Amino acid sequence: MSRFFERYEPETRHFFDEVIATEGAPRPHYDKMLQRFAQFSIDDIKARREIVNIFFRNQGITFTVYGEDEGVERLFPFDLIPRVVPAHEWLTIEKGLIQRITALNEFLNDIYHGQKILKDKIIPAELILGSQHFRREFVGINPPLGIYIHVTGSDIIRDRQGHYLVLEDNLRTPSGVSYMLQNRQAMKRAFPVLFDKYKIRPIENYPQELLRTLQEIGPVSRREPNVVVLTPGIYNSAYFEHSFLARQMGVELTEGKDLVVNNNKVYTRTTRGLELVDVIYRRVDDAYLDPLVFRPDSKLGVAGLVNAYRKGNVTLANAIGCGVADDKVIYSFVPKIIKYYLGEDPILENVPTWLASNHDDLKYILANLDSLVVKAANESGGYGMLIGPESTIEEQEKFAEMIVANPRNYIAQPTISLSRHPSFFNDTELWGCHIDLRPYVLYGKTVTIVPGGLTRVALKRGSLVVNSSQGGGSKDTWVVDE
């Protein structure tokens, strides 16, 4: 084993380590990687780190942190050791996600049409109809092909035994796919030899697949659809990604002010007049899309866009109102949703979840605040969260009050010790850092998943939060054929 790995402590008694199996031997799919790293000195690693940093800086791959000095731009921390997912494990993830996304789409279609699942009392109606993301204005609207969730990014974790579990479905505007693509480019530059030793499935076709998906969902009976990306603008933290995807797909990147609606049709304003738009890959939340329908103070949206959408003159990806299905409360019903619409058992399990809105669960949550993770149902990015074992008594009391005041808004889960993966600290030694995985699912005429995803790493020692806004980083993810 390499000098780096010799000194690495996997602590397999407490954690599932991705690289080192319990016996202390590496898992077979990591053999070649350890052999390669055995040949590296600290200077070799530093040289490769430099290659990677220059690559990211030149590409302008930064994200913005709020709350400190009005949005400082930072390089997204990147770990040099890639994560390897063997093909047979990937097959499970892929099948599981296809099943899950198909069922969730059926669910949305039902919620916005007959609401059979509510009438059959599988899910309490008040949970849906009372959700802030349920858009009653869109009941009865038919998006092309009946698809609501064209682009999703589910967060998957591994528990103590190494089982893959779904932690969250991001059905609105999941971000991070540009990091997935750029991480791969960076790794190819820094580790060409290692790269060559594995049969790594390519992910570079993601932008083409995304474009194909967006073209497939265009309004019917139209010429080749004109696709645009809609971004909130340059001050948005994911702006780099919006511009990256537009460039990679070869379509226009637009802001709200570039679009006008005339006679229920959407156009871009160009130097040669107006051009008709068919499909909008929007990275703007529902609430900001159209000041005439949602937040009237929105300057990011387009007045009249929702009517054009309702008329079927333009397709929005994702559809309006998808948030109702990725609420953390609805999450707990997904296994039932899969069973109800597909008649199948879920391939990927959920993390056990207690609902504060359920009387018995609430009692359990309040009694076990010190060991549970409590999450606000509608927050994302690691905000609005209580991690029981790491919290103080005061924090627990504060959360208890908030939960009792608004039980619909809270869920609790056991503190799962996420699997760990050796990651560099200061480029000199390896630490076991907690990771998750976000594969990106595209839903057009078929459901496609490029083999891989964004592996996020909690680079703060011991931290369980992998979000980039909370000091997390990422690593390249290799799906390899054995």
Partner 1 sequence: MLSRVAESLFWMSRYFERAENTARFLDVNFNLLLDLNKITHVENPSYWIALILVTSDRERFNSLYEEYSAHTVTDYLVFNKSNPNSITSCVSLARENARSIIESISSEMWEQVNNLYHYLQSVTPQFVHTDPYGFYKEIKNASHLFQGITDNTFSHNEGWDFIQIAKYLERTDNIARLIDVKYHMLLSEAQNQAEIVEGSEDIIQWMAVLKSCSALEAFRKVYLSKIDPDNILRFLILDRTFPRSINFSVCAAEDALWRISGSSRHRYVNNADRLIGKLEAELSYTAIEDIYAKGLHHYLEDLEQRLVKVGEQVHLTYFAYHTPEIEPVDIEEALPFTGVAGGRAYWSQAQQHQQQQQQ
Binding site for partner 1 (CB under 8 A): 58, 60, 64, 66, 71, 232-237, 243-244, 246-247, 252-255, 257-258, 260, 268-272, 284-285, 288, 297-300
Query: CA-CA distance, 224 to 231, in Å (whole number)?
Result: 22
Give 267 or 340: the residue with its C-beta nearer to partner 1. Answer: 267
In the complex, minimum distance from the CB of residue 205 to partner 1, in angstroms, rounded to a whole number: 20
Question: Residue 17 has what DSSP assignment?
Answer: B
DSSP state of 154: -
Closest Cα to residue 318, out of 242, 221, 213? 213
CA 149 remoteness from chain centre: 13
Q: How far is the CB of 270 from partner 1 (least distance, A)?
A: 6
Distance CA 254, CA 270 (A): 11
Q: In angstroms, what CA-CA distances link 462 with 169, 420, 458?
A: 25, 10, 8
Residues in the chain: 482
Minimal distance, residue 173 CB to partner 1, in Å: 9
In angstroms, rounded to a whole number, what is the distance separating the alpha carbons of residues 32 and 17? 17
End-to-end CA distance of the chain: 21
State how beta strands 155-158 and 151-153 pair.
unpaired
Shortest Å distance, C-beta 281 to partner 1: 14
Minimum CB separation of residue 273 from partner 1 in Å reads: 8
Q: What DSSP designation does 26 have?
A: B
Residue 341, CB-side half-sphere exposure with 13 Å CA sphere: 24
Rounded to the nearest whole angstrom, what is the least distance from the CB of residue 398 to partner 1 in the complex? 24
What distance in Å separates the CA atoms of residue 413 and residue 362, rounded to the nearest whole number?
12
Q: Measured from the CB atom, is 14 or 299 closer to partner 1?
A: 299
CB 201, min distance to partner 1, A? 28
Least distance from C-beta 178 to partner 1, angstroms? 12
CA distances, 196 to each of 32, 36, 40 (Å):
11, 11, 16
> Residue 135 Cβ, how far from partner 1 at the closest point, in Å?
18
Q: Is-contact 155 13, C-beta < 8 A?
A: no
Q: In this complex, which beta carbon is closest to partner 1, that of residue 60 or of residue 202?
A: 60
Rounded Cα distance, 112 and 319, in Å? 11
Burial zone of 51 (CB within 10 Å; 0-12 exposed, 13-18 middle, 19+ buried): middle
